[in-house]
Amino acid sequence: MRRSASRLLGILGLMTLPHWANAESIQDYSVLIISRERLEVGTPCELGIYIQDNKVGRLFQEQEVSFNLAPGKVNVRLMQEPGGAPGCSPGLPAPNATSIELHAGQVQKYRIANGPNGMYLKLAPPDQY
């Protein structure tokens, strides 16, 4: 009797495991993807990516980078970096940082684009993630 009762408790305990696994799979971070896939920025120079004024990455043409970040507001700034391509001297940062609100479990993709005031981040349509 004791043996069958302990087996029953063991089986019931195993049945609750999927609920624990789901509780741990809740994401407490968000994903920010920055892409230079398109030739919207006509420079061969690499671009530096700064989040909260800390350099976190570099991008050449046709590259993308992703970051797992805590939810909340982040400021992203772009800057031309010195590199191996001719004419690539350190540039001034983009005049305005892009402020992005991130939520837990969310994936946001931005493309680097060029406008009248320099480079900026443009939100990519959700079907292009």
The C-alpha angle 111, 114, 117, rounded to 5 degrees, equals 130
As a whole number of angstroms, the distance between CA 93 and CA 13 comes to 57
Helix axes 2-15, 17-24, angle to 10 degrees: 30
pLDDT band, residue 10 (cuts 50/70/90): low
Whether this prediction's pTM lies above 0.75 is answered by no
93 compared with 117, residue with greater pLDDT: 117
Give the per-residue pLDDT at 110: 93
81, 48 contact by CB (below 8 A): yes
pLDDT tens profile 38-72? 667 777 788 889 999 899 998 888 899 999 999 99
Query: Looking at the predicted structure, is the pLDDT value of residue 20 above 50?
Result: no
| Structural domain boundaries in the chain | 27-128
Class of domain 27-128: mainly beta
Query: Looking at the predicted structure, is the pLDDT value of residue 79 above 90?
Result: no
| Mean of per-residue pLDDT scores for the chain | 77
Query: Looking at the predicted structure, is the pLDDT value of residue 74 above 50?
Result: yes
